[in-house]
Amino acid sequence: MRFAILGLIIGILIGYVLKVDIPIEYTKYTAVVIIGLLDALLGAVRADVSKNDYNSLIFVSGLFFNIVLAVGITYLGDRLGLDLYLAATVVFTYRIFLNVGIIRRALLKKWA
């Protein structure tokens, strides 16, 4: 899990330094991919903190599955003329808040 967090920090720093411009038509895709990545990362943190059963294979497969699912839903919505990316955003955001709540409770239990 430490490598995942380190990779995230390095990726943020590289993105900040390179100043990559994303075309406006890809902003929906970028947004859902970032939220899917955060969901997978917080799921890995939750697994490590709450149960101590972090598995890198599960993390990587969940990461790619989240990306493919988010992009697929967004693409389908674009083809149908619907804003389906909002559905992916809502679901991933719900899971993020759920994971953060579980992480918070597990850390409070360890510290108490």
Q: What is the pLDDT of residues 50-84, one digit of tens each?
A: 877 778 888 889 889 989 988 999 999 999 988 88
Give 2's Cβ-side CA count (13 Å radius).
0
pLDDT at 85: 87
Where do the structural domains in the chain lie, given as residue ranges?
2-111
Question: What are the tokens at 31?
Answer: 């947004």
Taking residues 10-23, what's their average pLDDT? Answer: 85
- Binned at pLDDT 50, 70 and 90, residue 29 comes out as very high
> Cα–Cα distance between 12 and 19 in angstroms, integer?
11
